[in-house]
Structure 1
Amino acid sequence: MTGREDPYPRYSRLREISPIVRAADGALVVTGYADCQTLVRDGRFAHMPADMLAFVGFPDWREHPALLQLWTSMLTLNPPDHTRLRRLVGSAFTARRVAALQPAIERMVGDLLDDLAAAPEADFVSGFAFPLPVAVIGELLGVPAADRPQFQTLVRDWTQVLEMITPDILATADPAAAAIRDYLGGLLDERRKEPADDLLTALTQAQTADDRLTDEEVLSNAALLFAAGFETTTNLLANGLVALLEQPGRLARVAEAPDAAVEELLRYDSPVQIASRIAADDVELAGLPIEAGERVVAYLGAGNRDPQRFDAPDELRLDRENNAPLSFGGGIHYCLGAPLARLEARIALPALAARFPEIALAGRPERRDSLTLRGFTGMPVQLGREAASNGASSLT
């Protein structure tokens, strides 16, 4: 079994060797929970600034849509630019706006379960784990339902640059990023003429007393929110279902304490496995001096399985207490969409268990070829008999 298929034994081995090791590409890698937490929270570690792309072979990064779209978004910017964008985007992407989506999410879950019930076997990724979050983030942003399916391929092609940047990858990622930007640009033009009750309109109106988002900032961050809005949740649902089906009766237990169960699923097989930073100054981590400019990588999936932080970390315990997975990062870059991803999973998984209590894998799931974003591209499932009720009561 490859490291991408199951990285956790290798993570464990790395922890045994040293709390911090140097990888073949020169980056320093940390695998312990405390060190990973420090890396994503401590302001002495920053995202690689765009001008450093020149040092890895891309001085023309602004001419590559895939790079331009990422390095002008909240994901990679550092203070004070990040602080400004986070404040403005956060003023539009509010907890109230997320909470207001609950009835829509419940309706979408019910509709997708109805669609699954049309056949005894289905693909869980294409039939549920992808269309649910893409419908939710599409609803939130204001992307019409008929336009949403195209984004699965476009976003996955674009986000390859999170794993590695090479000319071959950019040959696929650039046109995908350009297509996303062009589509959202057209939608933005429509919202300028006819505002709607959606996040894209709210982003165009986001402002403080003396500042507001430019159109380019709206587009870069709308693209980021769209991509992150379904990539993380799709992986959470798919990884979570596989883990739950490893033991009979485990899926049904999610409804007993859905909040705790979702946190444990996030910890057990994190949708995001890696966070990379650059030391902004000379600093010490895990007892090792690190020079300013050195790249340091937190293996979040390893930190989530650290026995110094979690009792029996390789066991899935749906009632685990004092759980605080690293899966959504931390500090100023903590995932803005984390509450939405949690809400979707808390609704979807109990509803799935209530509707199809006998659901089981019908073949080997197909793992996506990525370590940074961990998930599946396909997952055949046998639904078994439906419960006597259609499960609608579990959605209220």
Structure 2
Amino acid sequence: MDYQSAVASLFQPEGRLDPYPAYDVIRAHAPIFQALDGRWFVTTHALTDSLLRHPGLRVADPADYDGFWPGWRQNRGVASIVLSMLKNNPPDHSRVRRAAAATFTARRVTAMRDLIAGQVEDLIKAMPASADFMSVFAYPLPIGVICALLGVPEADRPWFRQRAADLTVVLEPVSTGEEMRLADVAARELEAYFAGLIEERRRAPEEDLTSALVGAHDDETGPGLSGEELLANLVLLLVAGFETTTNLLGTGLQILLEHPEQADRLRADPDLAPAFVEEILRYDSPVQLTSRYTAGPLELDDGPRLGGGVELTLLLGCANRDPARYRDPHRFDPDRPNIQPVSFGGGAHYCLGAPLARLEAQVAFPLLLTMLPRLSLAGTPERRDRLVLRGHATLPITTG
């Protein structure tokens, strides 16, 4: 397989099922190269990590979307993402990110450990002898945690699962018309729900993230959030807090059950969980790629000189298995030193919810292994056909 065929395979279902052989071919060709429709692909860990933090790169923002997709606002699924901090550049990104970071603090996340452990234990106790892990655990846990953080009543949480799942397709470069229609419907329903929750919290604030963001919106002492930004970022926090963590939990459990000697180590010593989670993130990233654009001419060390407005596709999953950064990268090894996956991005757009996703996985895996000592795979897992957000549709397990 030549490098052009390898790149093309990533945009086909069979290539997405296991992209790692294609990544090896692509990475061996060059750290950065041009292919397909003229986009540049970045393959190595060193260059990916550097470009994620480079001040000369930007994300596609609402003004860009106006240029190449004038009708994007008509699909509320697209609009909810484009109008959020995920698709904004400074100074708007800095202002919105500052307001969100002031409420989504490390202290707030750390304080959720007991709540997460309680939800994990409840889900494990309710787990049948044979089940689809994605349905009974990997979906409900992140939805329950992010909804608790946002202040969504427990009775409403099951309603969020399908809508959040439908909405994530707008993050993919390949989608069908029906998927985009469902994303629009889901976003409209979520926006209506959050509009009501915002008014409730404005009347009676609580100790939750929605109340804190409403406070940032209503703060008259400085530049806070506009009403449109408030709504878009609540939807973003729900979707981002749900999908990537679901993928991390499903992929991570499969890896552990396929490496029983490593599962035994984690079962015996839960303090190993942070290293295990970092290696899971490196070994099979829940986010496989992200895009940036050059804000102006950009000259790379030992690389090409790029003009302004050039699109770069950063292959995060490829970078995480770069043999120049990680010895024997296709081996799952939680003991490898200095694990620094690029799975959550980097720089100004580093994932705000990364600490929460990590904490959920660090709590969940040891409890699953200790409370269910006979937990095992019970069939062939089914992958979701996604290029960006890599995870399982089903993961059959047995607890007996």
Output the TM-score relative to the length of structure 1.
0.93
> Which residue matches 1:325?
341
The alpha carbon displacement at 1:61 in A equals 2.0
> Which residue matches 1:388?
none
Q: Report whether the alignment pairs 1:143 with 2:152.
A: yes
The answer as to whether partners of 1:329 and 1:335 remain within 8 angstroms in 2 is yes
Corresponding residue to 2:172 among 154, 158, 163: 163
The alpha carbon displacement at 1:256 in A equals 4.7
Which residue identity does 1:343 align to in structure 2? L
Cα distance in 2 for partners of 1:23, 1:358 equals 47
Which residue identity does 1:109 align to in structure 2? V
Distance 1:382 1:274, change over 3 A: same
> Which residue matches 1:133?
142
> Which residue matches 2:299?
284
The alpha carbon displacement at 1:249 in A equals 2.7
SS at match of 1:329: coil
SS at match of 1:319: coil
Q: Deviations over 1:21-57 (max 9, x none)?
A: 323232111110011112211111110122222443x
The answer as to whether partners of 1:245 and 1:251 remain within 8 angstroms in 2 is yes
Which segments of structure 1 move beyond 6 Å, counting only runs of 4 or more? none
> Which residue matches 2:34?
22
The answer as to whether partners of 1:40 and 1:275 remain within 8 angstroms in 2 is no
Q: Report whether the alignment pairs 1:268 with 2:278.
A: no
The alpha carbon displacement at 1:301 in A equals 0.4
> Which residue matches 1:85?
96
Moved more, 101-110 or 16-25: 16-25
SS at match of 1:292: coil
Q: Report whether the alignment pairs 1:200 with 2:210.
A: yes
The answer as to whether partners of 2:167 and 2:239 remain within 8 angstroms in 1 is no
SS at match of 1:370: coil
Cα distance in 2 for partners of 1:73, 1:167 equals 23
The answer as to whether partners of 1:257 and 1:319 remain within 8 angstroms in 2 is no
Cα distance in 1 for partners of 2:264, 2:120 equals 17
> Which residue matches 1:51?
63
Corresponding residue to 1:153 among 138, 154, 162: 162
Moved more, 148-157 or 198-207: 148-157
Corresponding residue to 1:297 among 287, 310, 313: 313
> Which residue matches 1:243?
255
The answer as to whether partners of 2:164 and 2:242 remain within 8 angstroms in 1 is no
Corresponding residue to 1:339 among 355, 358, 367: 355
> Which residue matches 1:309?
325
The alpha carbon displacement at 1:171 in A equals 2.0
Q: Report whether the alignment pairs 1:365 with 2:381.
A: yes
Distance 1:47 1:93, change over 3 A: same
Distance 1:167 1:350, change over 3 A: closer
Corresponding residue to 1:354 among 354, 363, 370: 370
The alpha carbon displacement at 1:287 in A equals 0.5
| Equivalent runs, 1:381-392 vs 2, <5 Å | 381-384=397-400
SS at match of 1:322: coil
Cα distance in 2 for partners of 1:258, 1:170 equals 37
The alpha carbon displacement at 1:292 in A equals 0.7
SS at match of 1:187: helix
Output the TM-score relative to the length of structure 2.
0.92
Q: Percent identity?
A: 46
> Which residue matches 2:197?
187
Q: Report whether the alignment pairs 1:226 with 2:235.
A: no
The answer as to whether partners of 1:252 and 1:350 remain within 8 angstroms in 2 is no
Which residue identity does 1:306 align to in structure 2? D
- Give aligned pairs, total: 381
CA RMSD in angstroms comes to: 1.6
The alpha carbon displacement at 1:215 in A equals 2.5
Moved more, 245-254 or 297-306: 245-254
Distance 1:204 1:78, change over 3 A: same
The alpha carbon displacement at 1:167 in A equals 7.5
SS at match of 1:277: strand
The answer as to whether partners of 1:4 and 1:371 remain within 8 angstroms in 2 is yes
Cα distance in 2 for partners of 1:133, 1:158 equals 16
Cα distance in 2 for partners of 1:196, 1:303 equals 42
Q: Deviations over 1:70-95 (max 9, x none)?
A: 11111010001000001111111111
The answer as to whether partners of 1:109 and 1:132 remain within 8 angstroms in 2 is yes
The alpha carbon displacement at 1:63 in A equals 2.5
Cα distance in 1 for partners of 2:174, 2:113 equals 38
Greater percentage in helix: 2
Cα distance in 2 for partners of 1:376, 1:366 equals 6
The answer as to whether partners of 2:167 and 2:186 remain within 8 angstroms in 1 is yes
Cα distance in 2 for partners of 1:125, 1:25 equals 36
Structure 1 unpaired stretches of 5+: 385-396
Q: Deviations over 1:66-118 (max 9, x none)?
A: 222111111010001000001111111111111111111111011000011xx
